[in-house]
Amino acid sequence: MKPIKGIISCAVLSFAVLLTGCEKTDIHKIDPIPKELYQKTIPETFVVQRGNMQPTIRLKLTQNSLRYYNYSVDLDDLEFGQLNVANGDYVKAGQVLCVFKSDKIEKKVSDARETLEKDQLLLEHIKKLKSINFDPEKTDPTVKEYAGNIALGKTYDDQIVAIEDDIRLKQIELSESQRDLDKCIVKAREDGVITYVSEAISNGVVVKGKDILTEASGDVGFYTEVKNSDYEYEVGAVYKAQSPTMEFDVEITEIEENASGSKTLHFEPVSDDVVYVSTEKFEVIIPLEEIKDVVYLEEKLVYTATNEKSFVYLVDENGFKDPVYVEVGPVVDGMIIITNGLNGGEEVAAK
């Protein structure tokens, strides 16, 4: 309930100062003081629960390995073309994720190819002319037509060299332009999952230098460390791995004994369809035997006095907090069982 203020006439309790550095209070040192009329804030209260409880074991899973690939635009004058993926989509290596358009780059590629084609045709033409007009037999200085033949051959050779140089330059230009054009088609580097799609690219807006997509890739396996408990883990046992948006079956493939006495459990997805999972936090929840008809409340609402006894702040009908001893049992998923001192339905407050 929300804190509210009102005028309440009642006894005022003065609380002893807590010991420095601990959360313990001796409830026998809380002395009553005379009643006064004053303004106070009614504390936020929590209802003590009674019923059945379902204990669980929660295993926080860590993924074996992760690699991230951030895709961005580093070219000018690009226009949005097509976005083929959404956040959470599985992708294969080489799959087209996003396509951009650039009239400028496309024209450079087209012009370079056209020039190359013309130069190749011209080169073939000059070589053919040389083969027709230049006589390789007339290279002897004693031959009558030697000088004119040599000069003609040199003219053809100079033209061939110039055209070949121009072809090489155009091939470099085409290669660079084609590389830029290839950048307009964003492809997945590995098998993985899309973990981020920028709002800009989702709306068809191209922003140079900003990440547009993130792909995560890596090993689909998990591991977690568990301490000794009564629960027996077995290789081959299958559980459900869960995140806020995904779930799938995982199997224990290995149980590793640690020097500290703990164990490391290794998991793999059961289905081959789970080629990769996202960077979300996954856990395995194992239900245990239900506990019948118990009184319980949040563990944080139970405190420890200096005499090591547990107590709660019970709220009376006037909104005042009275410390009351309780006996406690095990903690189940953040809820502590009260074995004596409360019956369920009472209201308690935080310190």
Query: Coil, strand, or helix at residue 340?
Result: strand
Across 54-80, average pLDDT: 87
Q: In terms of DSSP H, where are the helices of the chain? A: 103-133, 146-183, 199-202
pLDDT score, position 321 = 86
Q: Please, which residues bridge with residue 335 across strands?
A: 298, 332
Dihedral sign computed on CA atoms, order 271, 274, 275, 276:
negative
Q: What's the mean per-residue pLDDT of the chain?
A: 82
Which of 13-22, 81-90, 268-277 is the most confident on average?
A: 81-90
> What backbone torsions phi and psi does residue 106 show, to the nearest 5 degrees?
-60, -40
115 vs 37: which has the higher pLDDT: 115
CA dihedral 90, 94, 97, 102 (to 10 degrees): 180
Confidence of residue 310 (pLDDT cuts 50, 70, 90): very high
